Amino acid sequence: MLRFTAENLQPILSAHRLDTAGLLPLSACRITQGYLLARAGLSANEGSVLMLALPYTMPDTADEADRNISRYAVPCDYHHIAKDLLGRLIEELRRDWPGANFAAFADHSPIDERHAAAAAGLGMLGDHGLIITPHYASYVFLAEIITDLPTDAQPQIPQTCSHCGACRAACPVGLDKARCLSALTQKKGELSPDEQIALREGGLAWGCDRCQEVCPHARHAAPTPLAAFRQDRLYRLTAAEIEAMDDQTFSRRAYAWRGRAVILRNLRLLEKE
């Protein structure tokens, strides 16, 4: 059987155009939801993690300039994209490592994904709370495949950004997670008058990109090589379009998990201007 090494994984990763990946022992990760490991038949004391960064960046265009939702929400919900991609990867891994156990995770994960990504060498931890990768800055989604196979890969000491202060200065609430504008756009129910003003001043019906856009590393972020993030992109939404969207189409958008009422509320607030 092939050893589970970065060298042996490279042909599979390259075939899927995954150029930001790294291996580390599962024991080097911070376990946050151990029950997910147990459910997958994995132990926290053995095995390894293949960490992946899935970039979603696109070149600035006229569509990008007219965007009224966060960059990450322009393509289909990455959970759908990651599920398909990780499923195909696991099929190939099982072919090359028969008998091994593999489980894929994205977002709902048994480990601290950002810490694991930094320890696997994918990038550094930014003050805005995101991983900053060399090629795509922080415009990436994190996902991982965990296996019971051992690895010789050694974890790195997680590195941090230079703390230039650009993200903190640009954030309307100084990176206060409790008052994050992105979280505000996801809040259910009626918004207070102050919250409505904050949403209108933010200018986006879903999410906020300010801390990422001002990061010095974002100036040189490369477009995604992943075809799935280049397709079915919606840059600008209207309340009428969301109302007319069928349930199946709506369910594949990043804002669908909060329900139609939340994104409609936000769009109507912006459209009142």
> Mind giving me the DSSP string for 177-245?
GGG-HHHHHT--SPPPHHHHHHHHHH--SS---HHHHTSGGGGGPPPP--GGGTSS------HHHHHHS
pLDDT in tens, 241-272: 999 999 999 999 999 999 999 999 999 999 98
Are 11 and 138 members of one domain? yes
From the list 60, 63, 84, 107, the catalytic residue is 107
Are 28 and 86 members of one domain? yes
Percentage with pLDDT > 70 across the chain: 99
pLDDT in tens, 154-184: 999 999 999 999 999 999 999 998 889 999 9
Are 10 and 141 members of one domain? yes
pLDDT in tens, 120-136: 999 999 999 999 999 99
Are 100 and 197 members of one domain? no
Q: Is 16 within a domain?
A: yes
Q: Is the dihedral of CA 106, 111, 113, 118 positive or negative?
A: negative
66 catalytically annotated: no
pLDDT in tens, 16-50: 999 999 999 999 999 999 999 999 999 998 999 99
Q: Is 85 within a domain?
A: yes
- Asked if residue 263 lies in contact with residue 255, where contact means CB atoms within 8 angstroms, the answer is yes
147, 175, 202: which is the final residue of a domain?
147
What the block records as the tokens of 223 is 């477009």
| 249: CB partners within 8 A, 6+ apart | none
Bridge partners of 124, per DSSP, are: 132
Are 188 and 81 members of one domain? no
DSSP class of residue 155 equals P
Burial 65-98 (b: 16+ CB within 10 A, else e): eebbbbbbbbbbbbbbbbeebbeebeeebeeebe
**Rounded Cα–Cα distance for residues 25 and 215 (Å):** 31
Q: Is 65 within a domain?
A: no
Are 130 and 183 members of one domain? no
- Asked if residue 146 lies in contact with residue 37, where contact means CB atoms within 8 angstroms, the answer is yes
Are 115 and 18 members of one domain? yes
157 phi/psi in degrees, rounded to 5: -75, 120
Return the pLDDT at 272.
85
Are 195 and 81 members of one domain? no
Return the pLDDT at 3.
84
Reply yes or no on whether the pLDDT at 186 is more than 90.
Answer: yes
Are 105 and 192 members of one domain? no
**Rounded Cα–Cα distance for residues 39 and 33 (Å):** 11
Mean pLDDT of 200-206: 95
Are 12 and 142 members of one domain? yes
Instruction: Quickly list H helices, the chain.
Output: 6-15, 34-39, 62-65, 78-96, 113-119, 166-170, 181-185, 193-202, 210-213, 239-244, 247-251, 260-271
The average confidence (pLDDT) of the chain is: 95
Q: Is 158 within a domain?
A: no
Are 134 and 187 members of one domain? no
Reply yes or no on whether the pLDDT at 62 is more than 80.
Answer: no
Domain count, the chain: 2
**Boundaries of domain holding 126:** 6-58+77-147
- Strand pairing report for 48-55 and 21-25: antiparallel
Identify the residue whose tokens are 């958008």. 253
- Asked if residue 75 lies in contact with residue 116, where contact means CB atoms within 8 angstroms, the answer is no
Q: Is 122 within a domain?
A: yes
Return the pLDDT at 273.
61
The residue type at 232: D
